[in-house]
Chain A
Amino acid sequence: MIAMTQLRVGERAKIVDLSQVSNLVKRRLLDMGVTEGSEICLKCTMPLGGPFMIENYGQCVGIRRNEAKNIQVKPL
């Protein structure tokens, strides 16, 4: 199990733990169907500690790096 920030661009992973993510962000992710057990793919990252873009069943979502750091995933 690793933090999402350790994924390489293009790598696929399954979300294992969202409990460390702030409540508001977790709510929003849930709204977009990103929960524990979702399969995601890291699409790209922005420079200088900028946001991450992940894909989940054809849906792309952007989140900040410091939130991604708190998301535990298991590479597939």
Chain B
Amino acid sequence: MFIFTKMTQIPVKINNKNPKLASYILSQYGGPDGELGASLRYLSQRFAQTDKSGIALLTDIGTEELGHLEMVGSIVTQLTKGEGARSFDRYGVGDYYIDHANGVYPSSASGVPFSAAYLQSKADPIADIMEDMAAEQKARATYDNILRMSDDPDVTNVIRFLREREVVHFQRFGELLVKLQSKIK
């Protein structure tokens, strides 16, 4: 089960407004390598794991990713808080405003709605963990792209933290893979 705690892993406090940057960061909410896909992937794959380390790691990383989803949604909200239709339009994201106004909608930076087709659940522990390692690298690469676009230190601090977590997750999945492979031999 999950129990909500009223805080984020690190505080999210964005002072400036920037609907355009928000629309880029939204990709880590509901885009192809975003946190929603990450948490759904791990929390779904764990049901087919038999190794206790595998079950635990997928559960614990999947849970952390749900917290990251919340942090990304919070960045997007704070970057657009109080901004109206004209502001969105001036920033070049009037189309997002028409569909969702100041709402956080799970979609990619290019406007594609979230899809479960971004992930797999194969009941094959090796295949699943290999996918997870690739997913962590793709999430890390997306955070790198966001860091290239952002010049707001309030945003950059949080994005750097999230990027670093993907590196740690990749490391842990790698250790799990070695363990699973050694059991096969």
To the question of whether A and B form a pair in one complex, the answer is no
Residues of A within 8 A of B (CB): none
